[in-house]
Amino acid sequence: MTQNRFWRLDAHPQGHDFAAALSLQAAPLAPLGEGEVRVRAQYLSMDAGTRMWMTPRTDGYQPPLPLGSPMIGVAMGRVSESRDPRFAEGALVRGFGQWADYSTVLPDMAGLELLDESVADIRQHFGALGMNAWTALVGVQEIARVQPGEWLVVSAAAGATGSLACQIGRNLGARVIGIAGGPDKCRFLTEQLGAEIAIDYRGQDVAAELARVEGGVHAYFDNVGGPLLDAVLPNMAHYGRVAVCGMVAAYDSDVPLPGPARFDQVLMRRLRIEGFFIPDFLHRGAEFLPQLRRWLDEGKLTTRFDETAGLENVLVAYDRMLSGKSTGKVIVRLDA
């Protein structure tokens, strides 16, 4: 009987000490139930939002994962067994599964999708054609409502979603300002992603740099919250829009954190702030893909991958992503 290796959440992590909270386990694969599909993973996606699932907080956008459960994450791979006629054995698919060699899922609950194999690099299904890209497109185009010529600021701009938000903003005619940590990432933003300005939050005063923007910032794509949000709010233009995509600054806290210190600027500058969560838009994937694919094929949208090999090294990759040591999309490649 085939053994399945999987990462199990044993305790709520303290900070970035994931090794003390998760363990690599193995168990025999059970027979498929009615309607189930089994996927052998080729790649696993490392996503910041899953950090909150590891906490005991019940006020998040996803209920906390019960201790003793396999760790949940997005997986891409081949169908190895199927009891759903929509998903034939051998098909390339992506959906919510586990950090595991094999994920056994009910397709509709897992958001399982058949993927286009004509894409030259299938990893782009985790990149320019993936959920991070859908998030960036919705956030920039629909929530922040960016218009040509406007100033768009993106935090965590060298990360998976931020790097795509920068490119989409540029493609829509915005003047992009990316905020990232370190000179290498800032060069990546200006030299490869088309950002007009890059601000190093580790070495520069973000608020002071944004104060130089004539007319103020029209739109802010926020992946971080915390002090960076406080730096941006006083430098927004009147009637500016803030699209809240993530709160990385608060994900490792077991309790809610205080709100923005400069929340008064929401009133003073008549700002609109809206949070959004991509699972609310999963049913619109087919609508997003044609535009994203055109940009990908034209070389106007791409993703840099930070790839780690081996299921046993998942925690190394996960820490790289959350600690800001990576650039682009962090993924784990499995032997499949």
Residues 6+ apart with CB under 8 A from 72: 50, 53, 65, 96, 97, 98, 99
Residue 291 lies in a domain: no
pTM for the model: 0.93
> DSSP character for 99?
S
Q: Does one domain contain both 329 and 272?
A: no
CATH number of the domain residue 255 falls in: 3.40.50.720
Residue 296 lies in a domain: no
Encoded tokens for 9: 């959440």
Q: Does one domain contain both 263 and 215?
A: yes
> DSSP character for 87?
S
pLDDT of residue 49: 86
Residue 241 lies in a domain: yes
Between residues 151 and 283, the one the model is more confident about: 151
Mind listing the pLDDT tens digit for each residue in 187-218? 999 999 999 999 999 999 999 999 999 999 99
**What is the domain count for the chain?**
2
* Helix, strand, or coil (residue 285): helix
Residues 6+ apart with CB under 8 A from 86: 107, 114
Q: Does one domain contain both 272 and 136?
A: yes
Q: Does one domain contain both 14 and 90?
A: yes
Q: Does one domain contain both 7 and 118?
A: yes
Q: Does one domain contain both 136 and 268?
A: yes
Mind listing the pLDDT tens digit for each residue in 132-141? 999 999 999 9
Q: Does one domain contain both 23 and 114?
A: yes
Mind listing the pLDDT tens digit for each residue in 132-180? 999 999 999 999 999 999 999 999 999 999 999 999 999 999 999 999 9
Q: Does one domain contain both 9 and 86?
A: yes
CATH number of the domain residue 24 falls in: 3.90.180.10
Residue 180: which domain range? 131-279
Give CA angle at 206 (200, 207), nearest 5°.
170
- How far apart are the C-alpha atoms of 269 and 259, rounded to whole Å? 18
Residue 287 lies in a domain: no
Q: Does one domain contain both 82 and 102?
A: yes
Read off the pLDDT of each residue in 120-134 and give the average, rounded to a whole number: 96
